[in-house]
Amino acid sequence: MNTKPASVRSKLDFYRLARDEGVHLENCPVREVIANIGGKWNSLLMLALAEQPYRFGALRRLVPDISQRMLTQTLRDLQRDGYVHRAVFPTKPPSVEYSLTELGRSMFDPLQALVKWAEQHHDAVRAARARFDRDES
């Protein structure tokens, strides 16, 4: 049965386990989360909603280069995974407010750490990139 020892050794095992047991490692827990910050707009919207709750239109203005379609869809994805709460107020015309849930806030912490790293090291990355591009020319 190719059985694994009960103790999970390395971080990689989370991927490996998923591969061994799942259809196509679609149910790998790490991938599930990483996929949701990897999208083009997911992390950006998390960043925005971590600031404060926003209404749909406000988010559009905050991020003018997102298409309406992707805004709707990304918000629904985030809501589906429990990161975002969607509150509908029956005003006329209706207004909808999006906010982070507790789960969303807790996942925002490590996400923010990554963002801070990016802010602090993006020049090093750009330098490395320039060096690489020059050397291989």
Chain residues that interact with a second copy, rule: CB under 8 A: 10-12, 14-15, 19, 24-25, 29-30, 32-34, 37-39, 43-44, 47-48, 50-51, 62-65, 79-82, 103, 106-107, 109-119, 121-122, 124-129, 131-133
Report angle CA 118, 98, 114 to the nearest 5 degrees. Answer: 15
Between residues 15 and 56, which has the closer beta carbon with respect to DNA? 56
Structure tokens at 90: 């029956």
The correct pick among 7, 93, 109, 123 for binding DNA (CB under 7 A) is 93
72 binds DNA (CB under 7 A): yes
The torsion region of residue 69 among left (phi > 0), alpha (psi -120 to 50) and beta comes to alpha
Between residues 17 and 44, which has the closer beta carbon with respect to DNA? 44
Report angle CA 62, 50, 111 to the nearest 5 degrees. Answer: 110
